[in-house]
Every structure is written in structure tokens, then in C-alpha cells.
A and B are shown apart, each in its own frame.
Chain A
């Protein structure tokens, strides 16, 4: 049994994920709590060995508060912290293996609620008005029970489950539409589902490149999907890909493929530029892209997560997956390392608590 669980954990850990952050504007300048002016790092934790944790780093990178949820609330977050988003005064932490979402005040980190009903292997979430949409793998042995949980943010309850294709992962919101990337859970998939938030129905399923593991919205509201492609071990290796989806017409406007052996991940968008990681190197391109970039901005990265913003590149390094990981910070203009900070175990994402 444990072998299975270990293997399961191993698989879950090796996929390259990073948190989607729906940053809302918040222009107040007076500190609203201990964790106002800085960034959070989501640390998955070692499956079966530690709780997931959230680390806090002030923007001046002067210190790391390793486990703020426990520090403030005196309890553990749960098993496998998968992702985190902020919305209004709250932060939502999706805890995959405990099948819960922890709702906290984003400035003080005081817990406000634990949503523990209606979630089954929750992964990522996005907010639309007073509703949130949460991707759920469901029972991992069942490839047909995957769904999107619709969350009422006032009552913190799941009000509806929208059945979707296998392996919903990252999720984005544009106007009244929600886009779900179907990376494929422990299998493989190549779909993007579009959900109409007015009636919470799936209006279209768009086929993209294999394993759409990350995505980003550009300024015009186009959704760019980065497909990792199927890995060699699957026996049917396929190329990574970049797909541009017009979120108004729901049509694919551009597809660019990598080499078959190339499996990129961790797509980010910042200052009109896209960033991703391939084979330990950071590459960038802009929306006029026609061919795959060849010049690396940074190399020799051990990137488990990536966040580009605040004129910096934040790379989370999960190291050996059982020790404390690191966040490495690079200057976005000079691409030189500014600082390396020890965080929790298996850091998978950086989330800014404030947009300047």
C-alpha cells in the first residue's frame, strides 16, 4: 500500500506546476497585517512526512517566515499544499491531499474558514465575482469523475459540481468565461474546457497540444497555453507547444511546436513578455512569436516553480524533495542572482500579496 502511495506522491511531485495567481488591485499603502508587504511561497510539503506550509518573504527579501499558517493559527495546513490565490481581503490555499481549501485573511493570515465539503483532490482555483471555480481530479483511480467545484465565497460552500474531462489543472477567468487546462492528472490530456459562468455549463472544449501544464493571459485577454508534450516514458513522446486562444471567439489563433524531445513548462506573462523554463533554462518571447526562442536568459535552474514580476524572476527549487527548498531571486534586467532564500519543503509557487 505504501508503495502505491509513495509512487503516487512521486508522480504528483514530479509534474511541474505553479500557482495561478489572480491578483486583484489593492492600492492601500498602510500595512494591514504582518504579511501585507511581501510574497508568499507555497510549499507542498513532503507527502506523508510533513504538512504543506506557506512561507512569507517581505519584498525587501530581508527574511523568511517559514510556516506562517501554523505560526498564526497553531495548526497545520494539511497534506500537499497545491496552490494559493488572493482575492479581496482573503487568501485561499488549496490543500490537495487533505481535500480542503483553507481561507485566511491575507494580511494577518488568521484562518477564517476551512472548506472541507465538496472537494476531491482539489488543484487550482480562480475567482469570478462572488463565485470561485476549483479544479478537482476526483478519485484518482476513476478517470471519469473529474469536476470543477463552484464555490460560493460568501458562505464558503460548494454549490455545484461541473463534470469535465480528465485532469483539470490550471484555471483562468476572462470576463464571464472560465478556461480550464486539462493537463490530465496522472494520465495525459490535451484539452481546454470553456465554462460559461452565467449558467456554469461547459460551452466548448478546445484541443491544444499535449499536457497543457501552464498558461497565461496577455494584456488583450488572450489565453496562451504551454503544452509540455508527453514525456518519453509514456512510450509516445510528443513535442511541447505554445497555443494562443482568442478568449472572445474561442478560436486558436496560433500554434507553435517545440522539438519532440522538448518539454517546456511554467509559462508566465509580465510586462508584455512571456517566460517559460525548458531543460533548466529560462526563455522569453513576446506575442509576435513565430519560432521557438533559442537564446536562454538564465540557465542551470532547478525550477519547480516560476514567478516573474516586480522586475524579478523568482525560481523555486525543490532540491531533493525531502529537504528545505529555496527561492532564488534574479534581477529581470541583468539576469543576475540577487538572493537565495531557504523556504519550506517542495516550494512550488510564489504568490505576490500586493500589486504595486
Chain B
């Protein structure tokens, strides 16, 4: 563990520098954040007790040319299990499983109810206006799966006259081509946002140290269309849609040249009616989601298996300002799922209701209590609750703490997989407690969170007789520390920015007392940005500890560190602007794998031109 010790040492030194740097800094933060004017009001998420660790705004998301999976891997300390470049990428918060993370798109959960998770390499950031990553339990508001954390993907509207277009083209290594277009049009009554993202890549990078090459070419198209109309000062009608087509030849491993491929089609649509008054916020949503995957064991062949999941969700919530100091809310939800394909035709109806309460005792101390109950046939969903408080002890120091119980319902694959599914499964349940320390200074802020988490009835596939079946068997116990900080220093036109994220995650199988598979003990990402007028330079560093990929073997996947750099230059033309971006990923050409035997790309380049008019 010498490496670990060195790392900790490095980290401490790094922090010390950060502090001393901060104290000597005298300059003012002159950079103005250009933010969208969004509709304000009391929001559902104001009640959620999960800690808000990361917030990514439009400006950052627009610049990013990669999938959400790569974006989060490089910019947060959350671990993403990425099977290979652009292949399945599943997330793990706080040592929990990928199906214990909830992904919420404009207020509705979009994890596949078939496999319980979202493939983060099928989500692209340019169709999203804001991403919030909330660590910790959030089942009360976000329902099943919000155990480890919740990712909120949001689109926003602003009602003022504007007509903005943005078109960009990317050329990159491994015959990668991407084109993107965005339209942002609005009047005082009406707003429309449209985005399209088409991409294609041979993805045939060499497996370093071998004579083999990857053969996981892919192509895809993403389209987002969001429309809103302001009926009057109080009522707004919004329509959101997000479509995704993806055709991936699955990547090879070091052991064999892959022959299979997968096609995905996802369609998400949502209609929302929003009523806002001074004292209340009422929100009615109707959503429809369709996910289709087709798996071809041989690319040359049309034979394939498929799974099709459709979800209808209706949701109403009402939030009321009872007094200056008290906010309360109620919500009801109805969800219907239909499956088709390998798991055959099944249906599930789920009803849920929740109650939210928040009291601002003083302007420095507030607390909240939230509860939820869900009902569905065939298994009992536990009653869940969350309590939390926030206390500003010093002007620059706030402490937040929460305790919550959370759950995840069995997926359709768990329940109905032919000959193997187990219809008697119960939901997984989990409880956790956490304390977060938030420090906010003029030029820097950071937070340090510690948590304890325990999950029971974890669903695992185990051999029972001659057949593998999912059973509620495992118990997981975990604890950890998360640190995230940002430091900014401005000198004339020069700006320096440091971002650091770090996580220490212990997640153990309670029976075996061993760290779970694919949970690194440490992960950190560091980013340094220097900008001068229209020029900016970024250096990004990612380090992930080694992981076990089998419970009871000494085989490990090595730790790895990867560095990326990028340059941006913005030419301001008369009314328009042209951005040039050059990205170089894995600059040291490090061979590494995240998942056993599936090499990640070697050094690669991307050039992006963006024209805004």
C-alpha cells in the first residue's frame, strides 16, 4: 500500500498548498457567471436531504463533447464502471450498485425498470441544461433506487426574446466524427430548445502492448426538443422530449474479438403543467418512456434478442409556504410498467405518496422531515423517511446532516428472466446517515462529508441447484469520506482554477467482511484551468484505486491514473463567435482497464469547432 500512502501524502500537501494559496490571494472574483434566468419558486428538490455535491451548468455541459459517463468519471469522485470506450457505463455511488442510483430527468425517474440502471454512455450532456449530482439517499422524493445517490438532469426555460443557434463539428482519433446543433429561441410567452447530436466512430484503438485492436465501432443520434409556453404569470405548460438511437458493435476484450452488437432506442417524453403563486407551487406531470434494446450475438446476423420496456408515469405535487418559516408539500404518483421481449409480457402498477416538511427555525438553522409510502402488488415496499438539518455555525461554515431510509424494487429481469427470474423477491432496503461540512470563502469553497450506509436484502444472482437465480441475500455495510473543493484566483485577465474531488469508500459484504467487487477504496479527480481572455487551458487528472473483480480471489484490476489536457480559444466575431477546442485524452498513453480485460483507449485527440450565431 505504499502507493496509497504516497497518494495521501500528496493529497495533504496539495491541501496545504491550497490553503496557503487562498490566504495570500487578494484579488477579486471578477468573473461573472452567465446563468440562465430560470423560473424561480419553491422546488421539490429544496426538500431533498441528499447532499448536493456537484452542480454542472450549461456552460460546462455545452463544452463537453463526451458522454455523461465520461464526463462524470473525469469530473467527480464517483466511480463509473465503464466496459470500454462508449460501451456500457454503470455508476456506483458510495460503493452501492448501479441500480441503487436514481437518474431523474426533469423530475421523472428514467432508470430502465428491466435492468434497474442507466447506461451513462447513452446520455449526452448537450441536450441537458443543468446536471446536479446528489450524493446519499433520496428515495422519499425520487423513489426506488435512490440509495447511493441521485443524478438530476434538468432542462430550463427563460422567457425573454432570444434566438441563438450553435453548430459544432468534431473530428477525432479512431475515425470519430461528431456534429451537434442547438437552437434556443424564446419570446416572453414561448420558448423552444432543440438539440441534435449525431456521432460515429470506428473506435478501433490499439490494445497497448498487444497486436490486437478494438473493433467496437458505434454510431448514434440524440435529439432533444423542449417547448414551453407561459399561459399567464402563474401558469406554464412545458413539454420535454429526449430521443436516443445508438448502434454499437460491442468492444473486444483481450481474450476475444467481439462479434456481438447492441442497438438501443430510448424515447422519453414529458408534459408538465406548472402553477406558481407567491405561496405555492403546483406541478402536474404526465410522462411516457420507451426503452428498447436489441442484442445481436452475431453482427453479421439478424437474429437477436430484445427487451422493450414502456413506462407511463403521472405525478402531482403541491408545495405550500405555510408561513414565512414553514414549507410543506405533498405528492402522489402513479407508475405503470410494461415489458416485452426476453422477459416476456408483464405489467406492474405502482402507487406512491409522500409528504414533505421543512422548518426554517432561524435563518441559520433549518430542518426537514420527509416520508414516503409506495404500494405495489406482489411485494411490500418499505415505508421510507428522511430527516435532515442544516446549520450555519459560522459565516463561512455550514454543517448539514441527514438520516434516511431508502429502497430499490426488484427489476423485471430479476423477477421474470426466463427460467431464472424470482417472482418472490423483496425490495432491497437501506439506511444511511451522513454529516457534511461546507466551507465557503471568497475564492474557494470545499466540503467534507462522512457517511455510514447499510443495505439489506440485496439482490444477487447465485447458483441454486443447476440454475442461477436472484435472491435477497446479501447485506452490505459501508462508510466513507468525500471531499470536494474549488479554488479560484484571478489576476488581471489571468484566471486560475483548481477543482479537486476525492472519495474514500469502504463497502463490504457483511458476511464475508470483504470489499465488494468493483468498488475502489480511493478515487480522485483533479482539474486545473488557466484562462486568459479568450484562451483557456485545462489539465485533468484521474486516479482510481485497484478493484477486485471477484469476491473470493486475489485477482485485482490495477489502479490507474489518466491525464487529459485541452485548449480552447474563442474568436469573437461581430455578433457571432467561433470556438476552437483541442482535447488530448490519456496524454501519457497509459494502458488501463476499468473492467477486467477491456482496455480503454490509448492517447487520442479531438478537434472541435463551434460556431454560435
Contact = CB atoms under 8 A, between A and B. Distances in A.
B304 interface: yes
A141 B301 contact: yes
Contacts of B88: 1-2
A3 B342 CA distance: 11
A70 B461 CA distance: 30
Contact of B295 (A4, A49, A78, A233): A4
B393 interface: no
A201 interface: no
B293 A1 contact: yes
Is the interface on chain A under 10, 10 to 19, 20 to 34, or 35 or more residues? 20 to 34
Contacts of B461: 6, 10
A139 interface: yes
A14 B468 contact: yes
A130 B210 CA distance: 32
Interface stretch (A104-112, A164-172, A247-255, A321-329): A321-329
Chain B binding site: helix, strand, loop or mixed by DSSP?
loop
A51 interface: yes
Contact of A3 (B250, B255, B413): B413
B550 A322 contact: yes
Nearest to A8: B297
A79 B301 contact: no
Interface string B288-317: 000001011110010111000000000000
Contact of A78 (B256, B413, B466): B256
Contacts, number: 91
A142 B255 contact: no
B143 to A, nearest CB: 22
A79 B255 contact: yes
B536 to A, nearest CB: 38
Contacts of B419: 233
A139 B552 contact: no
B334 interface: no
Interface in A214-246: 231, 233
B26 interface: no
A353 interface: no
B304 A50 contact: no
A348 to B, nearest CB: 14
Chain A binding site: helix, strand, loop or mixed by DSSP?
loop
Interface string B536-562: 000000000000011111010000000
Contacts of B550: 46, 49-50, 322-323, 345
B462 A49 contact: no
A74 to B, nearest CB: 12
B253 interface: yes
B420 A76 contact: no
Contacts of B41: none
Nearest to A14: B466
Given A14-B468, A345-B553, A141 B297 contact: yes
Contacts of B259: 139
Contacts of B295: 1, 4
B301 A1 contact: no
A13 B463 CA distance: 10
Given A7-B420, A142-B303, A320-B462, A97 B552 contact: no
A156 to B, nearest CB: 19
A139 B301 contact: yes
B115 interface: yes
A142 B597 CA distance: 27
Contacts of B293: 1
B85 to A, nearest CB: 15
B130 interface: no
B552 A322 contact: yes
Contacts of B305: 4
A142 B298 contact: yes
Interface in A126-149: 139-142
B255 A320 contact: no
A142 B553 CA distance: 35
B553 A98 contact: no
A142 B304 CA distance: 10
B596 A48 contact: yes
Contact of B297 (A2, A50, A139): A139
Interface in A1-36: 1-7, 10, 13-14, 16
Interface string A331-353: 00000000000000100000000
A76 B555 CA distance: 13
A99 interface: yes
Interface in B19-38: none
22 contacts: A1-B262, A1-B295, A3-B115, A13-B463, A13-B468, A48-B596, A49-B555, A50-B550, A50-B596, A51-B255, A76-B254, A78-B255, A99-B256, A141-B296, A141-B304, A142-B301, A231-B466, A321-B463, A322-B551, A323-B552, A324-B553, A345-B553
Interface of B: 83, 88, 115, 250, 253-256, 259-260, 262, 293, 295-298, 301, 303-305, 342, 413, 417, 419-420, 461-463, 466-468, 549-553, 555, 596-597
Given A2-B83, A6-B461, A48-B596, 4 more contacts: A1-B250, A1-B262, A3-B115, A140-B297
